[in-house]
Copies of this chain bind each other. A is one copy, B any other.
C-alpha cells in the first residue's frame, strides 16, 4: 500500500534529481531514500526508475507516478486543513453585527456562557449578515431591524440604541432640544471608523456634509476637544451625558437613528442566543 511519507520522499527526489540532494533536503540519510524508493516502486507495482551503477532517475512511468504522488500529498494536506478548519469552526462562535454597540453587550455574554468557545466578530452590512446566517457561514447576526422574511431563522429583539449629536458651545444648533439628521445636513462631522451602518446612514441623510473619519481614538478625542465639528454619541456608550466636555448632546429624532437591534441565528443555533 502507498505510504504518504515515502511518497513525500519520492516527490522530493523527483524535484531534486538525485537521492543525495533529496536526502539533504529531507534531513535523512541516503540509504533510507534508496530503501524508500524501492518501497514506492513496490507499492505502485511498476518499475519507476532507470538505475545505472552510480545514477538513478525516473523513467516515463516514474514521472507519471511522481505527478500522482504530488497530487495525493496535496490532497492529503487539503484534507487535514479542511478537517482542522471545520473543527475550529465548531469551537468558534462567529458574530456579525451591523453596528458595534450590541457587540459590547453580546460578546461578554457569550464569553461567559460559552467559556470554552472562541468568539469572533465582525461588522457587515445587513444583507451580508442575513445571507451569512442563512448559509451558516456565521452563527449569530445582529441587525437594526427584525428579520421576518426568512424561515428557519430565529429572531429576538436585543438592546436599543439612541443617537445624539454633540455640539460645541456657540454652535448654531446649541439651543435645540432635538434635531433630525436633515437639520445637520451641511455641517461637517467627525466620525469614528468601524461604526457599522451609522456611517452609511449619515452619508445618506447628510449628503451636503463632509465626514472626517478617524481611526485613532486619541486623535478623535483631540479633534472633538479642539474643533467645532459635529460629532455623535449614543446611549449605548458608558457615560453618554458627560462624555465630551464642553459639548451638549442633543437627541436625534429620526426613526433610523433610534434603533431596536435584533439578534438572529439559524434555528439549530438557537441555544446560542436564548438566555
Taking a contact as CB atoms closer than 8 A, the residue among B43, B61, B72, B79 that contacts A87 in the complex is: B61
User: How far does the alpha carbon of A8 sit from the alpha carbon of B3 in the complex, in Å?
Assistant: 12
Judge whether A82 and B60 touch: CB under 8 Å.
no
The stretch of A44-52, A127-135, A136-144 in contact with B is: A44-52
Q: Which residues of B contact A90 (CB under 8 A)?
A: 60-61
Residue interface bits A1-36, CB-to-B below 8 A is 1, else 0 = 111110010000000000000000000000000000
Q: How far is the CA of A156 from the CA of B68 in the complex (A)?
A: 38
- Number of this chain's copies in the complex: 2
Q: Which A residues, 105 to 163, have Cβ-Cβ distances below 8 Å to chain B?
A: none
Cβ B84 vs Cβ A44 within 8 A: yes
Contact A80 B45 (CB under 8 A): yes
**Residues of chain A in range 33-66 having any CB-CB distance to chain B below 8 Å:** 43-48, 60-61, 64-65
User: Are A46 and B87 in contact (CB-based, < 8 A)?
Assistant: yes
Report yes or no: A82 in contact with B61, Cβ–Cβ below 8 A. Answer: no
Q: Does A172 belong to the interface (CB within 8 Å)?
A: no
State in angstroms the CA–CA spacing of A71 and B83 once bound together.
Answer: 13
Cβ of A104 under 8 Å from chain B? no
Q: Is A76 an interface residue (CB 8 A)?
A: yes
Q: Are B83 and A46 in contact (CB under 8 A)?
A: yes
Contacting pair A61 B86 (CB below 8 A): yes
Closest B residue to A68 using CB positions: B79
From B46, B68, B83, give the contact of A61 (CB < 8 A).
Answer: B83
- The residue in chain B whose Cβ has the minimal distance to the Cβ of A2 is B76
In the assembly, what is the distance between CA of A72 and CA of B1, in Å? 13
Q: Interface code A255-273, partner B: CB below 8 Å = 1, 0 otherwise?
A: 0000000000000000000
B contact residues around A79 at 8 Å (CB): 2, 44, 65, 68-69, 71-72
Are B44 and A80 in touch, CB under 8 angstroms? yes
Contacts of A83 in B (CB 8 A): 44-46, 48, 61, 64-65, 68
Q: Is A193 an interface residue (CB 8 A)?
A: no
Rounded to whole Å, the gap between the CB of A116 and the closest CB of chain B is 12
From B2, B4, B60, B64, A1 is in contact (CB under 8 Å) with B4
Q: Answer whether residue A75 sits at the interface, using C-beta atoms and an 8 A cutoff.
A: yes
Interface residues of A (CB under 8 A from B): 1-5, 8, 43-48, 60-61, 64-65, 68-69, 71-72, 75-76, 79-80, 82-84, 86-87, 90
The 3 closest A-B pairs by CB, nearest first: A46-B87, A68-B79, A61-B87
